[in-house]
Amino acid sequence: MRFGDYQELCSQVPSYTWCNLFYRQIQDFQPSLLTGTSADPASAPVGVNPTCGTLRVGNDGSLGNISNVVVCAVSMLVVLGLIYLVGRRKAAVGRVEFRFLLIVYFLTLPFQLLTNGSLLEQGTTALVVLTAIHAGLVVTLFLGLLANAIVATQVVEDGTMASVIPYLLFTIIFFGGTVYVSLDIALGITKTLGPTENPSELRSIALFVLTSIWPAASALIYFVLMIYIILGVLNEIRPVWFFILAAGVFVLAQLAWFLLGKVICRRTNAKIDGSFIATFLETVCVLLLYLGWRNITEESWEDTAYN
């Protein structure tokens, strides 16, 4: 694989969301390359000529990617609860920024449900647009993660215009840029970042950087900064374990998606894949981040200090 290649990912990793963009690219430029289960858009699973994939709901009794649909729905309820709990901690440092992070994660879940749940027909403009928005939300999510780490250092005062305005500005830039890149790949709007002379390559360096390199780098920087703040500034030990566990669970989620997916898909005759495990672990990761944040912040102001 070359840097930015999606050929192996789209054929070997079941329910890999960004393959929806490349399916439309192939469908528009070289539809003869779509073979096997990908040949018929009405029943095609997520992916481009995948070795194993869940057929679209309603085909051969398929329920779609039902396991991930259920986990996404339950995760939405869990995250709503966390958003409520964060709102109650009036004096907590980074309360506004952390709540933004949870809201963005909450928004990714219904889009994930729609884009890799094998519910919509492959190649449709609706699926392409939903996938582009989903990509934008994922990139924005990790921007929010990084912003929370920066706010935790108290370089800028949390919850103020100095913190919120730059965050919102960069959110618009990152979200808009990612949506543009995604749509250009699928629809070839400008051909600047879309299909090359050989669309069958399934390659996009820009999308790979935004959806793979950027999240990994942001997560690593967040982890390092939070460990430094907790150990070096706050001199605490207990909260560190929440962040270490969160990092471990996050890594396991990616392994479940990329390595377990095909194994589970084949063992269940393409009824389900590893995406539901990844979604479950990612939600557990968010829960651990909340517990870690809760342990290093105050719930309310003491009366004497407030007065």
Each residue's pLDDT tens digit, 148-163: 998 888 777 776 787 8
Burial class of residue 5, CB neighbours in 10 A (0-12, 13-18, 19+): middle
pLDDT for 306 equals 40
| Predicted confidence (pLDDT) per residue in 275-298, tens digit | 999 999 999 999 999 999 988 876
128-134 contacts at long range (C-beta below 8 A, 24 or more positions apart): 128/20, 128/21, 128/24, 128/182, 128/183, 128/186, 128/187, 129/183, 131/17, 131/18, 131/20, 131/21, 131/182, 131/186, 132/21, 132/178, 132/179, 132/182, 132/183, 132/186, 133/179, 134/17, 134/108
pLDDT of residue 198: 67
Q: Which of 97, 236, 250 is nearest to 164 (CA)?
A: 97
272 by Cβ neighbours in 10 Å (0-12 / 13-18 / 19+) ranks as buried
Q: pLDDT (tens digit, 9 = 90+) per residue, 234-267?
A: 888 888 999 999 999 999 999 999 999 999 999 9
pLDDT value at residue 194: 57
Identify the pLDDT of residue 305.
43
Residue 66 pLDDT: 92
As a whole-number percent, the residues of the chain with pLDDT over 70 amount to 93
C-alpha to C-alpha distances, 199 to 39, 49, 91, 211, 263, nearest whole angstrom: 17, 15, 53, 20, 29
Query: Over the range 187-216, which residues count as b (16 or more CB within 10 Å of their CB) and which as e?
Result: bbeeeebbbeeebbbbbbebbbebbeebbe
Q: What are phi and psi of 266, to 5 degrees?
A: -70, -40
- In this prediction, residue 236 carries a pLDDT of 84
φ, ψ dihedrals at 5, nearest 5°: -75, 140
Task: Report which DSSP code applies to 229.
Answer: I
Tokens of 98: 């952390």
Residue found under tokens 């939903």? 130
Q: Which domains does the chain have, with CATH numbers?
A: 7-297 (1.20.1070)
pLDDT of residue 298: 65
Region 130-149 average pLDDT = 95
What is the rounded average pLDDT for all residues in the chain? 89
Is 109's pLDDT higher than 90? yes
Return the residue matching tokens 């539901």. 276
Render pLDDT for 22-55 as a digit per residue (tens, 0 to 9).
999 999 888 888 999 999 999 999 999 999 999 9
The owner of tokens 């079941």 is 14
pLDDT confidence of residue 173: 95
Q: How far is CA 33 from CA 2, 36, 42, 246, in A?
A: 20, 10, 16, 41
Question: 């694989």: which residue's tokens?
Answer: 1
Q: What pLDDT sits at residue 201?
A: 80
Q: Which residues contact 186 (CB under 8 A, 6 or more apart)?
A: 20, 21, 22, 24, 25, 128, 131, 132, 194
